[in-house]
């Protein structure tokens, strides 16, 4: 297989996009990761190189008659596979570079978010979409997104495929015992994650402990809302996911919207049954099967969530065992097989 150049977003960070780049490197020796930026305080170790600006071009760009637009020393590539993880990177990449290679864009989020967020099409939309004419394939996280992506990027549906993400931690081999603790692991952004709803559930189930793992812009807001709840613990950001799940009985997600949250795949791998408090994203029922590895509530209702907790507790070993079985489609073996088939397809075009 030829060289794969992966242009990543925060490869040392937390999240599905970040995890994807680290696992890609581990599973494919041909994969080399680059990034236009790096975290000042990395959470995970990752093997990657920074794409720097060309010092001479930085000086010459001030001479208007030269019309120098692209300042970065991109990794040398011709007839290679280029993986893009965010359209904002297209602002730094000339069309000729895309034309000379096979380009895959991994759509790590759902269509509406990609349309609005500045890292996707919420900024420089016209220029970025123009460059998508030179993208050969798009990877979606859900079959339900394919039609929208086809329309947004003006690409044929047969050039869009759905591949699952995977995770870095090892799965449990056998189910675990029930622990009276409900956890969530997420970015502390209440507009999306709706941790106020998580806390509302905690306020009605005082016999259970509730733990929130994560950091983000609403850390103080969440702390203020939780200050009178003695059964709630804010645990901060963690990369010790196995340890977090060892003290967890159920994983509760309360988000208003998601793409394909990797935290759910992590929960399945650790035998932690899941309750999704509101069916707010297309992949919810793909990942969580009612009365099998957890429950998906159509609308947020504390009483219904309470009932689901009781059902899971009453037959916990079954739910935990089924969670582990459900993880098999998301494991690294499946990831390598699916991506290997796509890479071979791209080379044989």
Same domain, 147 and 201: no
Among residues 99, 163, 83, the alpha carbon closest in space to that of 339 is found at 163
Residue 34 has pLDDT above 80, yes or no: yes
- Asked whether residue 66 carries a pLDDT value surpassing 80, the answer given is no
Residues 277 and 340 in one domain: no
Residue 176 belongs to a domain: no
pLDDT for residue 90: 96
Domain contains 173: no
**Do 246 and 263 fall into the same domain?**
yes
Cβ atoms 277, 300 nearer than 8 A: yes
Pair (248, 338) in one structural domain: no
Residue 114 C-alpha from the chain's centroid:
13
Q: Is the pLDDT of residue 62 over 70?
A: no
Whether 59 has a pLDDT exceeding 60, the answer reads no
Average predicted confidence (pLDDT) for the chain: 93
Residue 171 domain-assigned (yes or no): no
Statement: residue 60 has pLDDT above 70: no
pLDDT score of 54 more than 90: no
User: In the prediction, which pLDDT does 65 show?
Assistant: 54
Q: Where are the alpha helices (DSSP H) in the chain?
A: 16-27, 55-60, 95-99, 111-116, 125-131, 146-153, 190-193, 195-204, 219-226, 241-246, 262-269, 284-287, 302-314, 316-326, 332-347
Percentage above 70 pLDDT, the chain = 95
What Å distances lie between residue 94 and 54, 99, 106, 121, 128, CA to CA?
Answer: 14, 9, 19, 17, 11
Q: How far apart are CA 39 and CA 13, in angstroms?
A: 7
**pLDDT digit string, tens, across residues 213-232:** 999 999 999 999 999 999 99
Q: Which domain holds residue 12?
A: 4-166+332-347
Strand locations in 53-208 (E): 81-84, 102-106, 137-140, 160-162, 181-185
Same domain? For 257 and 112 the reply is no
* Residue 70 pLDDT exceeds 70: no
The verdict on residue 32 lying in a domain is yes
Say which residues have a Cβ less than 8 Å from residue 343's Cβ, sequence separation at least 6. Answer: 1, 4, 28, 81
* 268 and 288 assigned to the same domain: yes
Report the number of distinct structural domains present in the chain. 2
Are 206 and 105 in a shared domain?
Answer: no
CATH assignment at residue 253: 3.40.50.2000
| Cβ atoms within 10 Å, residue 89 | 21
pTM: predicted TM-score of the whole model, two decimal places: 0.90
Do 188 and 325 fall into the same domain?
yes
Residue with tokens 């044989």: 348
Mean of the pLDDT values across residues 146-155? 97
Greatest alpha-carbon pair distance for the chain in Å reads 74
**Mean pLDDT, rounded, for 7-29:** 93
**Torsion sign over Cα 239, 242, 247, 249:** positive
Condensed to tens digits (0 to 9), the pLDDT of residues 257-271 reads 888 899 999 999 999
């Amino acid at each position: 297989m030829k060289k794969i150049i992966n242009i990543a977003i925060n490869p040392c960070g937390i999240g599905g996009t970040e995890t994807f780049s680290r696992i890609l490197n581990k599973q494919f020796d041909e994969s080399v990761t680059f990034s236009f930026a790096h975290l000042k305080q990395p959470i995970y170790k990752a093997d990657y190189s920074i794409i720097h600006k060309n010092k001479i071009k930085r000086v010459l760009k001030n001479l208007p008659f030269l019309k120098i637009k692209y300042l970065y020393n991109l990794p040398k590539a011709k007839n290679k596979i280029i993986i893009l993880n965010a359209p904002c990177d297209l602002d730094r990449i000339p069309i000729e570079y895309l034309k000379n290679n096979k380009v895959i864009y991994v759509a790590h989020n759902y269509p509406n978010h990609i349309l609005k967020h500045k890292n996707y099409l919420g900024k420089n939309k016209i220029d970025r979409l123009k460059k998508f004419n030179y993208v050969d394939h798009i990877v979606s996280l859900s079959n339900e997104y394919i039609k929208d992506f086809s329309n947004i990027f003006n690409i044929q549906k047969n050039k869009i495929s759905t591949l699952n993400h995977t995770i870095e931690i090892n799965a449990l081999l056998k189910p675990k015992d029930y622990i009276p603790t409900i956890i969530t692991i997420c970015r502390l952004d209440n507009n999306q994650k709706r941790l106020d709803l998580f806390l509302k559930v905690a306020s009605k189930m005082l016999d259970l402990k509730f733990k929130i793992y994560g950091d983000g812009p609403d850390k103080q807001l969440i702390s203020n809302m939780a200050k009178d709840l003695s059964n709630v613990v804010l645990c901060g950001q963690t990369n010790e996911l196995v340890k977090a799940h060892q003290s967890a009985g159920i994983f509760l997600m309360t988000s208003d919207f998601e793409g394909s949250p990797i935290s759910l795949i992590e929960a399945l791998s650790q035998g932690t049954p899941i309750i999704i408090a509101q069916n707010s994203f297309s992949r919810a029922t793909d990942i969580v099967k009612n009365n099998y590895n957890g429950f998906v509530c159509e609308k947020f209702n504390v009483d219904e969530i309470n009932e689901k907790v009781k059902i899971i507790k009453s037959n916990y070993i079954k739910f935990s065992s089924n969670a582990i079985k459900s993880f098999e489609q998301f494991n690294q073996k499946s990831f390598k097989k699916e991506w290997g088939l796509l890479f071979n397809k791209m080379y044989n075009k």
